[in-house]
Amino acid sequence: MTTQQRPLLIPSPRTPGAPELPYTPAYADQLKSISENPKPSSGTGMDINSQVDNLSLPDNITLNSSSQRSNSSYQSRASGRNSMREVSFAGNSVRELNSGELGKKPMRYGSRAESEGLSMSQKEINDEDARFVYINDPVKTNERFEFARNSIRTAKYSIITFLPRNVFEQFHRVAYIYFLVIAILNQLPQLAVFGRGVSVLPLAFVLSVTAVKDAYEDFRRHRSDKIENNRLAWVLVNDNFQQKKWKDIQVGEIIKISANDSLPCDMVLLSTSDPTGVAYVQTINLDGESNLKTRYAKQETQMKNLEKEKISGLIKCEKPNRNIYGFQANMEIDGKRVSLGPSNIVLRGCELKNTRWAIGVAVYAGRETKAMLNSSGAPSKRSRLETQMNREIIILSFFLVALCTIVSVCAGVWLRRHKDELDNMPFYRKKDYSEVEADGNYDDYNYYGYGLEIFFTFLMSVIVFQVMIPISLYISMELVRVGQAYFMIRDTNMYDASSNSRFQCRALNINEDLGQIKYVFSDKTGTLTENKMEFHCASISGVDYNGGTAIDEDEQVGYSAQVDGQVLRPKMKVKVDPQLLSIAKSGKQADQESRVRDFFLALAACNTIVPLTTETADPAVRLVDYQGESPDEQALVYAAAAYGFMLIERTSGHIVIDVQGETHRFNVLGLHEFDSDRKRMSVILGCPDNSVKVFVKGADTSMFSVIDNSLNLDILGATEAHLHSYSSVGLRTLVIGMRELSASEFEQWQSSYETASTALIGRAALLRKVASNVESNLRILGASGIEDKLQQGVPEAIESLRMAGIKVWVLTGDKQETAISIGYSSKLLTTQMTQIVINCKSKESCRKSLDDALIVSQKLVPDSVAAHATGGSSEASPLALIIDGTSLVHILDSELEEQLFQLASRCNVVLCCRVAPLQKAGIVALIKNRTDDMTLAIGDGANDVSMIQMADVGIGISGQEGRQAVMASDFAMGQFRFLVPLLLVHGHWNYQRISYMILYNFYRNAVLVFVLFWYALFTSYTLTTAMTDWSSMLYSIIYTAVPTIVVGILDKDLSRRTLLKYPQLYGAGQREEGYNTTLFWVTMMDTVWQSAAIFFLPVLAYWRSTVDISGLGDLWTLAVVIVVNLHLAMDVLRWYWITHAAIWGSIIATFICVMIIDCLPSLFGYWAFFKIAGSALFWLCLLGITVAALLPRFIVKVFSQYYRPDDILIAREADKFGNLTALRNGEIELNPIFDPPRR
Amino acid sequence: MSSGEGSSQPSSKKSRQPKYSRFTQQELPACKPILTPGLVVTTFILVGVIFIPIGLLSLSASERVVEIVDRYDEDCIPSDQEKTAFIQSDKTNKTCVRSLTVPKKMQHPVYIYYQLDNFYQNHRRYVKSRSDKQLRNPENEDLTSPCEPEARVDNKPIVPCGLVAWSLFNDTYGFSVSGMNLSVNKKDIAWDSDKNYKFGSKVYPKNFQQGSLIGGGKLDEKIPLSEQEDLLVWMRTAALPSFRKLYGRIEQDLEANETITVVIQNNYNAYAFGGKKKLVLSTTTWIGGKNSFLGLGYITIGGLCLFIATTFIVMYLIKPRPYGDPSYLSWNRNPPGN
């Protein structure tokens, strides 16, 4: 690693905080690239793959896979949770210890350096790229560059800028520009087809609706901005802390924060109430992680009393950026240069916790804070249907151009044929006889020659036929999606009571994609499982204790401790094994008892958990909440507490543990944190009896190598057997060992530890070595089994998804064995499945195993079946592919990708274990780039962000691991099982509704255009419109808009019950049955027929009669509206009263509008409606048109439904007639295992 | 203290559980129509049963209409003369006498129409060339801008301006039966709405047909526009290029085989653009004029529906499909291994 060779800026050995540590972990670059490229788009697939390829993966992966290869699955059973959390880098590893008797000065020891990798290497910041902050000198700081003030502004507009800016933003939509161009064209006198006012109407309508919506949203933002800006903070002014409004805070000012205050801006910590300069912050508002993070003030500033002695210094830091985990700066203070890293900065939006006060200097303020820079909205994606729709829109514009060309060419021909007559023709009168030209000829009036006349006719026809491109469709679609989102959010079946979270729609424009998903990529931890670790059983010196009884909330009080007259009780209760409990409680000094005690002591002590006490309703009782980055550790500490070893306090140098009612204080002499090489952690405790003990816990593979094999072979063997049985039931295991250090050993350790931690080069490696030295010759205490609880309803959900023809892939950072065991418990894998396992170390071996696997798969799944594999039918031997991250490194981004794809598409289940976050995105891209199938990624953690953004639909689980996944997602929900109602029910409905709506809107507008077109053929191609201008503009606003929106929101083909009972019905969306090119063309043919019926029936009936333009125009208007609405009525599947109101209401509204228009004497067609409607012929025409226009569609519908019923229709019939016997038969045929998810 | 921004923390302990209502859960009561054979057959038969009688009724109504159509533009012009020159000249005698035979008894009122073919009253240049404001109110006499090129004469506004008025039809017809003059009632041939609102009773024709090119009929400058019913009729522009306009009514019965002598003043120049002029005498029924299309159409549709209903019944008997039968579902239909 090159960074190791780089010289340090300042070698300051005693400086707490370890940014000086030069060690950059192997995957720091990878992490950096994640944080820098938060949104890998599909276009950068190459990029991602190359990044994946470049990663030098942590050694553990290679080690692991080799061991897996040699011994099937026996050796590697347990693993620390930590190794899976590659990206949970926020947790700072450095612990401090007050060395008590051993040292006078406060000091911190640290052994893990991963987090520092994020501070990047110790690069010198260029002056141009830096901002200079003079501490406590805001005037000087701000004199050269005007840094942003701390007032924030999330509102987009002010009163003055609203109109121009909003209009400008709205015109970013191409559709609106089309609208605008048409409206402008219509303003030209030669082209004015419609009245000037009328032609602007639709555009104005749409713009104003959107503007009102935007204005309201902005108003709310203004309000919240105001509240935020006027909050108060203590700022150092003239050596006194005074209250200042947030908005007045400037960069360079010194700010004091008290406990539980939120931070007004990003600031570098100068000092805190803790003597060692530690501050705890909660970042829930920033990344949603609720655990506390430690931040440090530099020793150089921590010593100062800021109110008394004036501080001055210069911080040189990088320009504002959005990386909330990175910060790079150095500080010159008292002539010394100190480097600052991400652990020295606290960010706006965080809250100070557990620290009385903290003082810092503002470095980024207002909109330049990382929180504000990160507060961008959800990424916008485009739905599949909309993309396909654009294809048809292009066809429609070809239609439009074709119609316009026909009209204009015909007009040219007509002019040519009548060129001799034009001058005198009473209805043309080319010459203007009122003025005589000098040469005795007359001027042409409004005639510009054939070329221009044809051109003008063309433009005019574009204006007349403009609705061919259904712009109103875009608006209706948005409204419909809002309606759909409303229903999804309000669905009581998707409310998660445990996290009190509703379904969230973060992206509004891909609702219908939910109905077409073919691949689901799921994270495991926190998505399939609850990420709630529960201590399940323990094996202590070879004795298995797994008789944990269920917690009974009422009877069992659990363990509690008395401290200072108050009762402390752990927040969570754990099932306890009564036998183990009695052993733990007995004060005997027997061998087994003392081992049990040591075991629990190790559980309570060997961790990085911070206990927090919270008040309860009863003032005498306080709850202890264990905060930590690893849920495994939390589970272990809670377990220890339940057995009477309760961690009460953790400070810099000691921990306090209540052991069976007695409070013991242990000095924490050293702590070697978990790292992925050792895969274990250890703590060195100075016990009250002055002995020094080292407790180690870690993964079984790494622990057995450091356990003294000469001792207690029986215990070792028994423990191994227990470990095997634990992991086979899907438990996560950890092995715990300890030994006592002699005084000489301790001194030796201490000196080597200090040497290592002050070393200039290779510090991390040295520290690792120190740790390895002390973690040796351990005595085994036992092993713990922690249950990673599966979320409720996961197996049923996976079964439903599989029946729906959705392939579920699980991508996890876990080991192969864990992944497989979860696979079984979640019914992803079944015993009938043939498993293909690929874990190879080199490209060549990958190639070979892929080839072999392909041959096997071809044998098992013949091609013909593979094609149907998505249909959800159960084949004789389904395939499951299990592949690990190392192999994927070799396969992704190489020519082997294709083979993997071939193989994976034959498999029903794919499990990827040990995958890095970017590999997850790579796997999604593997499918996305090669097929048209829709992909959905679901995950809960920061490591799923790349995958969520890569997939067509990204779903975040608002669970334990913070909100980053949710922030990146399109939809968020509380539980994995909600995927079933979301896809099968809402997705299906959304797809059916939107796809029908698109087709209908195309049809609706095209009918009108064709009617206008036919009429153009009878006006010598001059585009006189028989319908009034108002009617043709109101057509898509009033006459026909409401029913399509109502139907688009409310209509549903099948009930929720049926959809859940037959997941296969989901296939309709996957096969694009609701919207495809065939349907489009069929619709268009229907359109031509209907428009012909509407137009020609009255033409023939009124041929050579006295009928006037307006009268016939009114007839056509009404006929079009009635036909179009009845067409919709014919397709409505469910008639609610709202549907009735919308459809019949629209028809009635049209009659009323037509009457009103014809009552205005200023308009051309005054009274025309009343004249024509007075004759029976009019009404007979309307009736005849309606029936004649809709008859073909009805006939086709009847016969196709009768002879080729699709699944949805049959299910609808069954739904309606409640054909019970038939349904029961169906169920037996389908799948007896299936148990519909609880409602 | 909670932070103002983000406010992602669940506010207190309030449950965010959505309230249950039948609307939000999309479980409103609804009617779910399904095209069952019964419904389908009923629909088709119903349409057939309704349409065929209506068709027959309209057909018979149309048959009852007695209509005399006489194209006179060809015959009313001396074959030796150039047509346009003849019609444009002031000197020529344009009187033309035609005799028509009444085929069947025509009950009064007998409507007199003139029919123009190939005359695009719906041409966009033509339709737009009028000023409705000017027609309604004498104060708007100068609002002639839409009327170009027939807006002004010697810079004085033309009332009524525009091509529509300028091209006013001016053939006249005089009728007599066996030497007895038939009186033609030309009152109330225009719409009441036009007379009362659209055309002002105080607007008098001015400078009309004073230009260098005379388009058609002239108007009596002493009669307000609202009473110039021929103009009103003419200015209700026709929707289609072949149209009829009401000329007047004969308020007495015409007996079968009577010969009507028509004296036509053949003034109107339809020759310039190949138009045809016809005189039409017609009675009327509830369906309007003679037009069998609607009746035939209705009968066809009705017949088709009945035919389809029968076909459907036959097909249903031959190959019934049980409704809602899961064995028809695609995944149950394909036997495994297929």
* pLDDT, tens digit (0-9, with 9 covering 90-100), for B216-233: 889 999 999 999 999 999
Interface probe for B, chosen from A434, A1049, A1109 (most Cβ of B below 10 Å), is A434
Out of A1111, A1137, A1162, the one facing B132 most closely (by C-beta) is A1162
CA dist list (Å): A625 to A535, A572, A573, A649: 16, 8, 11, 11
For residue A415, the chain B residues in CB contact (below 8 A) are none
pLDDT of residue B197 exceeding 50, the answer is yes
Out of B9, B191, B246, the one facing A1167 most closely (by C-beta) is B191
| Contact between chains at A426 and B4 (C-beta distance less than 8 A) | no
Out of B16, B193, B239, the one facing A500 most closely (by C-beta) is B16
Closest CA in chain A for residue B7: A285
Out of A349, A427, A1177, the one facing B163 most closely (by C-beta) is A427
A588 is in an annotated binding site: no
pLDDT at B227: 92
Catalytic annotation, residues of A: 523
What is the pLDDT confidence band of residue B93, given thresholds at 50, 70 and 90? confident
pLDDT of residue B14 exceeding 80, the answer is no
Beta partners for A737?
A696, A780
* Tokens 């295991």 found at: A733
| Contact between chains at B332 and A1226 (C-beta distance less than 8 A) | yes
Please classify residue B321 by burial: count the beta carbons closer than 10 Å to its beta carbon, then call 0-12 exposed, 13-18 middle and 19+ buried: middle
A689 is in an annotated binding site: no
| Contact between chains at B126 and A428 (C-beta distance less than 8 A) | yes
Q: How much is the CA Rg of chain B, to the nearest whole Å?
A: 33
| Contact between chains at B324 and A490 (C-beta distance less than 8 A) | no
Residue B204 half-sphere exposure toward CB, CA atoms < 13 A = 5
| Contact between chains at B124 and A231 (C-beta distance less than 8 A) | no
For residue B335, the chain A residues in CB contact (below 8 A) are none
- Report the gap between the CA of A867 and the closest CA in chain B (Å): 11
A920 is in an annotated binding site: yes
Beta partners for A543?
A540
The phi, psi pair for A245, rounded to 5°, reads -70, 150
Query: What is the number of CB-based contacts under 8 A between chain A and chain B?
Result: 334
CA dist list (Å): A10 to A19, A269, A331, A1226, B111: 11, 19, 11, 76, 112
A112 interface with B at CB cutoff 8 Å: no
| Contact between chains at B125 and A871 (C-beta distance less than 8 A) | no
CA angle A1228, A1231, A1233 (to 5 degrees): 110
What residues 1153-1172 of chain A have any CB closer than 8 A to a CB of chain B?
Answer: 1161-1162, 1164, 1166-1167, 1170-1171
- Strands across the sheet with A621-627, in order? A561-563, A566-570, A621-627, A610-615
Q: Which 8-state DSSP code applies to residue A366?
A: G
A1181 interface with B at CB cutoff 8 Å: yes
For residue B288, the chain A residues in CB contact (below 8 A) are 1105, 1175, 1177
CA dist., res. A458 & res. A450, Å (int): 12
* Tokens 């969230």 found at: A504
- Strands across the sheet with A292-296, in order? A292-296, A278-282, A351-353
Closest CA in chain A for residue B308: A1195
Please classify residue B38 by burial: count the beta carbons closer than 10 Å to its beta carbon, then call 0-12 exposed, 13-18 middle and 19+ buried: exposed
What residues 1071-1100 of chain A have any CB closer than 8 A to a CB of chain B?
Answer: 1097, 1099-1100
User: Could you tell me the mean pLDDT of each successive run of 10 residues in chain A, 1239 residues long?
Assistant: 35 33 38 40 36 35 32 33 32 34 38 35 61 82 76 80 84 79 85 78 81 83 86 84 87 87 88 80 68 76 73 84 76 79 83 84 85 61 83 91 95 91 84 69 80 92 89 85 92 86 84 92 84 81 72 52 75 78 76 84 85 76 77 84 84 81 85 75 86 87 79 81 79 85 88 77 77 85 84 89 91 77 82 83 86 84 50 59 86 85 87 82 89 90 81 83 74 91 94 94 95 94 90 88 94 90 91 92 96 96 92 96 96 94 96 94 88 93 96 94 88 76 40 37
- Report the gap between the CA of A587 and the closest CA in chain B (Å): 43
**What is the Cα A399 distance to its own chain's centre?**
40
Name residue A657's amino acid.
I
- Cβ(A910)–Cβ(A880) under 8 Å? yes
CA dist., res. A349 & res. B3, Å (int): 7
CA dist., res. A1128 & res. A1048, Å (int): 11
| Contact between chains at B238 and A433 (C-beta distance less than 8 A) | no
CA dist list (Å): A359 to A136, A346, A875, B277: 12, 10, 67, 101
| Contact between chains at B305 and A1191 (C-beta distance less than 8 A) | yes
- Report the gap between the CA of B193 and the closest CA in chain A (Å): 7
Interface probe for B, chosen from A1104, A1109, A1207 (most Cβ of B below 10 Å), is A1104
- Report the gap between the CA of A119 and the closest CA in chain B (Å): 26
Residue among A1127, A1170, A938, A1160 at smallest CA distance from A1040: A1127
pLDDT at B153: 85
**Three-state SS at A87:** coil
**Three-state SS at B272:** helix
A666 is in an annotated binding site: no
pLDDT at A1228: 35
pLDDT at B276: 93
Element (H, E) at A662: strand A662-672
pLDDT at A290: 61
pLDDT at B334: 60
Q: So where are chain B's domains? A: 36-65+287-317, 68-283
**What is the Cα A945 distance to its own chain's centre?**
7
Residue among A1097, A1088, A1090, A1096 at smallest CA distance from A1184: A1097
pLDDT at A959: 64
Out of A492, A963, A1136, the one facing B30 most closely (by C-beta) is A1136
Tokens for A3, please give them.
Answer: 């960074």
Tokens for A374, please give them.
Answer: 């990160």
Tokens for A797, please give them.
Answer: 């959900």
* Tokens 């991508």 found at: A811
pLDDT at A1143: 96
ipTM surpasses cut 0.90: yes
Tokens for A332, please give them.
Answer: 């010159």
Name residue A576's amino acid.
V
CA dist., res. A458 & res. A340, Å (int): 68
- Strands across the sheet with A313-318, in order? A130-134, A313-318, A329-333, A336-340
Out of B9, B28, B31, the one facing A284 most closely (by C-beta) is B9
| Contact between chains at A487 and B26 (C-beta distance less than 8 A) | yes
A679 conformational bin, left if phi > 0, alpha if psi -120 to 50, beta if neither:
left
pLDDT of residue B202 exceeding 60, the answer is yes
A1217 interface with B at CB cutoff 8 Å: yes
pLDDT of residue B271 exceeding 70, the answer is yes
